[in-house]
Amino acid sequence: MEKIKLLKNMIASNKKTFHYTFKMMVSLQDQIENMIIPFLEQYQIPSKEKKGISEWIHSSKKKRDSYQKMIEEGFGTLESYF
C-alpha cells in the first residue's frame, strides 16, 4: 500500500513539474511573439515574409496546445492505473 502512495506522489510531482515548465515555455513564446511583431512592423518586412512568420507563430501555438493535451491525457491514463 505504501508503494502505491509513493507512486501517486511521484506522478503528482511530475505533473506539477510539467505544468510549471510548460507555463514558463508558453510565457517565453508569448514574450518572443510580442517582440517579433513590432520588429516586423518597424523594419517594414515584406508582407510575404510577415505572413510566413504569422503562420509559423500560429502553427507553434497549435502544436504546443496539442502537446499539452497529449501529456494531460497521458497523466490521466497513468493516474487511472492507481
Extents of the domains making up the chain: 2-80
Contact 15, 75 (CB under 8 A): yes
Contact 64, 25 (CB under 8 A): yes
| Residue type present at position 11 | I
Question: pLDDT 10s per residue in the chain (82 long)?
Answer: 798 899 899 999 999 999 999 999 999 999 988 988 888 788 877 888 888 888 998 999 999 999 999 999 999 998 888 7
Give the CA-trace dihedral at 51, 56, 62, 68, to 10 degrees: -160
**C-alpha cell belonging to residue 6:** 509513493
Which one-letter DSSP state was computed for residue 63? H
